[in-house]
Structure 1
Amino acid sequence: MKIKNVSKNLILYLFILHFLLVNIVHSNGLFDQLFKIQHTTNIDVRLIGFDSLEQDELKILLNKLNKDYSPTILYPKLQTIDLIKQNHKFNITEGSHNLNEEIKASVKKYISEFQHRSTLKQDEYLVPFDIVDNIIAQDYKQQNHISYVVYIINTIYDREDSIEKYTYSQLNSTTINTLHRDGINVVDHLCNVKLWQSKSESPNNPNNSNDGSGRYVWIDIGAETCTYGPQTKGTGLISNQQLPHTNSRFTKKLYDISTFFYHTIRQLISPPIYEIPEKYGWIDLEIQLIMIHDHLVGQLEVSEQFDWESIKEQLGEKMPLLPNQRITFSKREVSLLNNLYAAQIKQSSLKTHHSVLKGTQQFLDSKELHHWFKVHIQKFIPSYLDDSSKTIIPIFLFDISYKELLLLDRYYQAVSFPDMVIGIQTQSGLMKIDYQCDKQLGINPMDATKPILQSLLMTIWGVGSNSLVVNENSKQIENNFIWNIGYNPSNMFTNLKDLSFSQTDSAIRNYLYFDIISSIDSLKSIMDHIGDDETWEEFTHSIDNPSVRSIDSFFKSINSTITQINSNLQLHQYSKAYDRINQLSDLAMNISSVIHKIHSSKHSYLECEKSTFLLSEFISISFTTIIVIYFLYKVLRKSLF
């Protein structure tokens, strides 16, 4: 009996002790519980040619994907942003009968009229992607979507049809017909696919005509696809068996569609953040191209293929900016023949690698180049350090005329650094790479446009390749190339240079996330400090803000602003979200100034890196501990004796 009484009393007093300890840390945990950003992304799913049973089962599977998770930052060390939670809300609808019939009729008509076949797979007809994309884009514009839209096309064939295999080319119909008319058969030069993503809309003209822009993707599960990805080693290879297909059994088909959605969400709609840019927070940005030729400046070079105008269009017109941001572009040209610094930097970075398979190969060490360009930066950009209000991101692009292959670090045409981008292009022939589209691929070393564009996205906005994913089990960074097709600058499987919605949305979203973290962390530190150092009554009497007169009003002010931010992010209202985030920043700054004022005679956390020792707190905690120990002793003594 005594043992039971001892147990009961121990439990009671341990509970009291736990309650006291919880109250000590309550203020620290309360903020985290109440003020997390909940970024909900709406995804409309349009099922074309599916029956009601498939729709119901697919709805169940997709709803299981709707889990909260924190955004991931890949580098320099894998980490999550725990103050922000992302989730995805699916709205599954049936595509109209007219939409289904129009797609089927258009694809069948093209196959019947032109009968273009894949040169690698003679049993497959080749259809330009825009035959379907034009129809999908028109439907997307008519619906006036604020969500991302995923179109799932079941099949173009009716039961009575004679079924033929077909696939989609990443070349449009005009290009394919022109090439065939000229007797050039390069239809297999790019990967043939069964899925597509829209290119990014221009913020200045979001309601443009049917030009294939928007926030939509589509997949024709009745079509075939090539095997694309690494050829000899590496993760992320995509084959026809890994993607949903009409011929699969009922359960496998639906599970494959669900898996396709999982990868689409994690790689295209809400991809991880590559890194937090060093130049984050810029207002006035100048992207300056410095072309370093191995011939005299001004000498006509008909073989140069670098598309500077395309980069200016994609980043200057397509990239959404915050209300106070602007981007300008400039270009300078220098020659290795008369610029001593450029010549020495190149020469000091030139290395040689020897292997049994490839023999002796020269390359430029990108880290060496980066070091010396930083040392001599003002020799190339005299105003680099003059104007603190302007951020300059230089692109140092070597344009080499000779025919020998020369790359950065043996493999790359461009490399991203926190403060610059370095690239190279040469006049050597098609360079074979360790990637495939049913056969080994090659890239054009004379044109570094796409690698430079992708590197700029990484340096300025922290947007990486869509192929980079985090393995949920091993927590390792891996590749999955399912969406490295179409409009994607990191895509080696096509020569398209347009950005998709994935890159532009990621860029603005990353910056808003960084601002949110900064603002909420500041407010949390302030709240913890006030709760530790003095009562809320003393603090609120000192602040000149009629809306903040109690801890409740302080919470309500923050919570109301966060609710509005959540809504703005959900509706892609990035400028409005930015204004709300600034309200949090202003609140943090105002409260910080008050703390400085009323703590002018105290040891404030804002003025010292070490924590303040408060005698009153020490006495209070010590007294509470002694009382608890005394009562425990009395109870134990009475129970036992």
Structure 2
Amino acid sequence: MKDHLRQFVTSVPAGKDYLGHMSDAQRTAWSHDLGYSINETLTALSEARVPITVDVKLVGFAGDGNEALHIADHELQMFLRTLHKQLETVALHPSPAHMTLKPEIVFRVQPAYYELSGKVAAAINQAINTGQPSSTYTSYPLHLVPYGEVDKLLQEDFGHGDGSYTIYLLNPPAHAPYAYSYQPPGSNQNESCPGSLWVSDKRYAWFDLTANLTFYGPGPGGKGQVFAHSTPILKHYKAQDVHRAITPDLAALVWSACQHLVWPPLHHGKLSYNPKLEVHLVYMVEALQRPAPGNGRVDVAALQQQLQAVGQPLGQQVTVLEHFVMFSTCDHCVAAYSGCLCACAAFRGRLQQLQAVGQPLGQQVTVLEHFVMFSTCDHCVAAYSGCLQHGERLLQQQLQAVGQPLGQQVTVLEHFVMFSTCDHCVAAYSGALKARTSRAPGAKGSFKLAVSHYLDLPDLERWLAEWREALLSEAGVNWDTEHGGAAILPVFIFDVPSTEPVLLDGLLQAAVLGQEPVLLDGLLQAAVLGQGDVVAVRSAAQPLQTFFGCFDLQMAINPQNIHRPVLAAVMQQAYGIADPALAWSQATGKMWSFIWSVGQNPFGSLGSTASLSFAQKDAALRNMALAYLNSSMHHAAALMRGFEMLAPAGSNGRTHYVKGYLQPEQVLPYNQRISLLLFKVQEAAAALAEGQHALAVGYAVSTTEDVAALHKITRHYKASLKPDLVCMGKPDAVRWWLLPSLCCFITLALVVWRCARGPSDDESDSKPGSRRGSSFGGVHHRAY
């Protein structure tokens, strides 16, 4: 049965009911009674686990490394075994929510191949000897070793892996201080922070204990800062205590890798599978023409390729589209933009300059604007369509690479809307544009007052939510006919020519509105809206310093390049991928640690690479499976608890079975569905453990059909129930009739008391010499 079901999962499109594709004999095989009581079924649904194997390989710890350190594999294994920590599956947004399926980490510590330590040390020392030290990050000369010199050796040792994850701990000897560079030669070094580790796109990562590390992460007051004492560095230990003190720190470092890389939390759990995904990039441009290809725009092809790599195993089609709205044809765009940052002020300034030049000559200077729309200018379209934007292709390639294992087709499309013809664009932009004062670095270490503009995320979310359909319509996105059933993810990009940096909340370049920003460093370029849309802003400003630091250098981002933050925001919204700096702990809850945020990572401002590591690629598929499994297991458990409430008091469902409440014709479908559901949950957990995430998604998505069938069976049973009111309780319990009876008793007592008291007063008043004139009877007698 297992092989037959696996065949259906791999051949039948996801979301289909596999039971309908089975033969009569196969359906009969699934109809056998498992014999589970209600309580046993709940236990089977709540105790499913995913065993994850993590191999830890020691390189340079056999006395052949730095300081001739010797650590046996069984010593580190002992500390890892005594951690007694359990990873939780948590969706962080909108509030932390625990999921049913949890992992169980199994560690295997072993020394690496004996020649690997010498090869790694030789590669590092050769790079030090051939390269020139840099003083960009530190006051002392620091050699920047390309990470590829070491990674190619470890990748060869790793091979293709066996479904497990591998963490390499390196302790090579070196004769000069060094750190690993992730930037190609000749690039801007302060856009990427050097580090001591690398997270590969394969299922392995490595950490070098000899590499120099002083500080990187957010500035003062930030969370998750990485200092020299945050990681085990050999020179920070006393020689006589190093062996005893560094081993538990190595175990803590491996556990940190498990929290951030092997099984990271989900950003959100509201994920749904669709075989087609279209990402529409809607450029709202404050210009008279579309922006030139490239030049910092989103690389559509790369984004689509990465998403397609995730969706392909499930047959999911991902499409990324670009839409441009020109200021010249978008009155709303102009209105939104002109509310705060008045671009026309610069235009008036240039006009005044021209008039000042021509005035001595008696020359009248007049500047006229002429707008030509692409919709009415065939020559404009022909001139522009000759080349496909490089950014569009790159983004599409990256997203296709993510969606490919799911069989997902990813398409990235661009749309351009000009501010001059889009009133909604202008209104949204100007309504969200704010100004504030801040301190800016001045000459000789002083500070000066500076006025900066930014887009307020709550206001922007409100305006875009109100005019969402109008903006997409002006961009040419037809929801009814164009997407053809595909899942659509709009990305609204405000493309302004201002040389002053304009960011979201003064912090980010891209984000999801209503959710946590992609960056927390005071420089946001993209965000995801509350309704699931992505918003980004791009300007012509020069590189801008961030709140993040690296060694002695302050990191910077390029406001002209939004490809990387848009990629991170799309991955966050479409696949629930959280920032690798985030993790969850039972003791502290949500916590930040930027140890693993350098290198290959589209999130944050510590790096500049827009590529994805295995942590993001695996999380994209695993999150989809976890979301479906959690939903199905939660609904099935709720049904079981409903039947449990029908059990007699004191039994708690231990000896009662659901089939005892069903009609005879409902027992067979129930047995089929509950057997399939429990089997699919087990197989999905096993597939996740083996690293076959696409297979796990197939099992997980198909569980929705089984849960829906169980709901249908429950509704039929509910319709057959007849209400019967039975008064139950202890004999000495308070009855409902006690209150009216008590009232009658009190009334009767008052009447008796009045009757008993009345004649006594009359008799006393009728006696001679009586002075009870205060009563009504006394007054009455005296009146006569």
Counterpart among 35, 48, 53 of residue 37 in structure 1 = 48
Q: Deviations over 1:183-214 (max 9, x none)?
A: x8x55653221111013xxxxxxxxxxxxxx1
Alpha-carbon distance in structure 2 between the residues aligned to 1:602 and 1:426: 65
* Residue of structure 1 in register with 2:114 after alignment: 97
Amino acid at match of 1:287: V
* Residue of structure 2 in register with 1:381 after alignment: 472
Alpha-carbon distance in structure 2 between the residues aligned to 1:372 and 1:107: 54
Q: Deviations over 1:223-262 (max 9, x none)?
A: 2124101123212111232212233311222122112112
The alpha-carbon distance between structure 1 residues 289 and 299, as it changes in their structure 2 partners (threshold 3 A), is: closer
* Residue of structure 2 in register with 1:218 after alignment: 206
After TM superposition, the structure 1 = structure 2 runs for residues 396-411 of structure 1, keeping only pairs within 5 Å, are 396-411=492-507
Contact 1:284 1:327 in 2 (8 A): yes
Contact 2:501 2:541 in 1 (8 A): yes
Secondary structure, aligned partner of 1:102: helix
Amino acid at match of 2:694: S
Contact 2:143 2:179 in 1 (8 A): yes
Counterpart among 593, 618, 633 of residue 480 in structure 1 = 593
Counterpart among 474, 490, 508 of residue 394 in structure 1 = 490
* Residue of structure 1 in register with 2:196 after alignment: 194
In structure 2, the gaps of 5 or more residues are 1-35, 63-69, 308-398, 441-448, 509-524, 648-657, 734-784
Q: Deviations over 1:404-452 (max 9, x none)?
A: 1211111111111242111111111121111101221211111111111
Amino acid at match of 2:220: T
Matched, 1:314 2:306: yes
Offset at residue 462 of structure 1 (A): 1.8
Secondary structure, aligned partner of 1:568: helix
Counterpart among 458, 462, 469 of residue 583 in structure 2 = 469
Alpha-carbon distance in structure 2 between the residues aligned to 1:543 and 1:349: 57
Q: Deviations over 1:436-494 (max 9, x none)?
A: 0122121111111111111112222221211123464443x342111111111113122
Amino acid at match of 1:461: Y
Secondary structure, aligned partner of 1:542: helix
The alpha-carbon distance between structure 1 residues 386 and 374, as it changes in their structure 2 partners (threshold 3 A), is: farther
Counterpart among 408, 422, 429 of residue 339 in structure 1 = 422
Alpha-carbon distance in structure 2 between the residues aligned to 1:77 and 1:46: 37
Counterpart among 256, 264, 267 of residue 271 in structure 1 = 264
Counterpart among 565, 584, 589 of residue 708 in structure 2 = 589
Alpha-carbon distance in structure 2 between the residues aligned to 1:152 and 1:614: 69
Matched, 1:241 2:229: yes
Q: Deviations over 1:250-290 (max 9, x none)?
A: 1222122112112211112111112223x634443211001
Amino acid at match of 2:595: I
The alpha-carbon distance between structure 1 residues 545 and 576, as it changes in their structure 2 partners (threshold 3 A), is: farther
Secondary structure, aligned partner of 2:665: coil
Contact 1:310 1:497 in 2 (8 A): no
The alpha-carbon distance between structure 1 residues 66 and 312, as it changes in their structure 2 partners (threshold 3 A), is: farther
Matched, 1:252 2:245: yes
Alpha-carbon distance in structure 2 between the residues aligned to 1:323 and 1:355: 47
In structure 1, the gaps of 5 or more residues are 1-25, 158-162, 200-213, 604-612, 626-641
Alpha-carbon distance in structure 2 between the residues aligned to 1:152 and 1:286: 41
The alpha-carbon distance between structure 1 residues 532 and 253, as it changes in their structure 2 partners (threshold 3 A), is: closer
Offset at residue 113 of structure 1 (A): 2.6
The alpha-carbon distance between structure 1 residues 71 and 146, as it changes in their structure 2 partners (threshold 3 A), is: same
The alpha-carbon distance between structure 1 residues 542 and 419, as it changes in their structure 2 partners (threshold 3 A), is: same
Contact 1:363 1:407 in 2 (8 A): yes
Alpha-carbon distance in structure 2 between the residues aligned to 1:582 and 1:313: 23
* Residue of structure 2 in register with 1:122 after alignment: 140
After TM superposition, the structure 1 = structure 2 runs for residues 207-606 of structure 1, keeping only pairs within 5 Å, are 214-247=202-235, 248=237, 249-277=242-270, 280-298=272-290, 300=292, 303-315=295-307, 316-320=399-403, 323=406, 325-355=408-438, 358-382=449-473, 383=477, 385-386=479-480, 389-412=485-508, 413-417=525-529, 418-438=531-551, 439-470=553-584, 472-475=586-589, 477-533=590-646, 536-537=659-660, 539=662, 541-543=664-666, 545=668, 548=671, 558-582=677-701, 584-602=703-721
Alpha-carbon distance in structure 2 between the residues aligned to 1:470 and 1:44: 22
Contact 1:127 1:168 in 2 (8 A): yes
Alpha-carbon distance in structure 2 between the residues aligned to 1:107 and 1:480: 27
Contact 1:286 1:393 in 2 (8 A): yes
Contact 2:181 2:193 in 1 (8 A): yes
Contact 1:194 1:220 in 2 (8 A): yes
Contact 2:195 2:599 in 1 (8 A): no
Offset at residue 305 of structure 1 (A): 4.4
Offset at residue 295 of structure 1 (A): 1.0
* Residue of structure 1 in register with 2:92 after alignment: 74
Q: How many residues align?
A: 553
* Residue of structure 2 in register with 1:18 after alignment: none
Amino acid at match of 2:706: L
Q: Deviations over 1:312-367 (max 9, x none)?
A: 23223321467574332211011112322212221222122234665322211222
Alpha-carbon distance in structure 2 between the residues aligned to 1:127 and 1:622: 81
Q: Deviations over 1:361-406 (max 9, x none)?
A: 2211222222222322233323555268332111111111121121
The alpha-carbon distance between structure 1 residues 446 and 34, as it changes in their structure 2 partners (threshold 3 A), is: same
Q: CA RMSD in A?
A: 3.0
Alpha-carbon distance in structure 1 between the residues aligned to 2:90 and 2:609: 28
Alpha-carbon distance in structure 2 between the residues aligned to 1:280 and 1:144: 30
After TM superposition, the structure 1 = structure 2 runs for residues 613-632 of structure 1, keeping only pairs within 5 Å, are 615=725
Alpha-carbon distance in structure 2 between the residues aligned to 1:118 and 1:270: 37
Contact 1:27 1:531 in 2 (8 A): no
> TM-score, normalized by length of structure 2?
0.65
> TM-score, normalized by length of structure 1?
0.79
Contact 2:190 2:554 in 1 (8 A): no
Alpha-carbon distance in structure 2 between the residues aligned to 1:519 and 1:299: 46
Secondary structure, aligned partner of 1:492: coil
Alpha-carbon distance in structure 2 between the residues aligned to 1:559 and 1:601: 27
Secondary structure, aligned partner of 1:271: coil
The alpha-carbon distance between structure 1 residues 378 and 232, as it changes in their structure 2 partners (threshold 3 A), is: same
Amino acid at match of 2:452: Q
Contact 2:621 2:697 in 1 (8 A): no
The alpha-carbon distance between structure 1 residues 66 and 540, as it changes in their structure 2 partners (threshold 3 A), is: farther
Alpha-carbon distance in structure 2 between the residues aligned to 1:107 and 1:96: 18
Percent of aligned positions with the same letter in both sequences?
A: 21
Amino acid at match of 2:53: N
**Greater mean alpha carbon deviation, residues 383-392 or residues 92-101:** 383-392
Contact 1:72 1:272 in 2 (8 A): yes
**Greater mean alpha carbon deviation, residues 532-541 or residues 286-295:** 532-541
Alpha-carbon distance in structure 1 between the residues aligned to 2:295 and 2:716: 66
The alpha-carbon distance between structure 1 residues 517 and 299, as it changes in their structure 2 partners (threshold 3 A), is: closer
Q: Deviations over 1:548-606 (max 9, x none)?
A: 29xxxx87655443322221110122232233335543333333333333443336xxx
* Residue of structure 2 in register with 1:50 after alignment: 61
Offset at residue 90 of structure 1 (A): 0.9
Amino acid at match of 1:272: P
Alpha-carbon distance in structure 1 between the residues aligned to 2:718 and 2:223: 57
Contact 1:41 1:88 in 2 (8 A): yes
Alpha-carbon distance in structure 2 between the residues aligned to 1:394 and 1:533: 47
Q: Deviations over 1:483-542 (max 9, x none)?
A: 111111113122111011111211221121111112112222333334445862452722
Contact 1:322 1:578 in 2 (8 A): no
Contact 2:133 2:141 in 1 (8 A): no
- Larger C-alpha radius of gyration, 1 or 2? 2
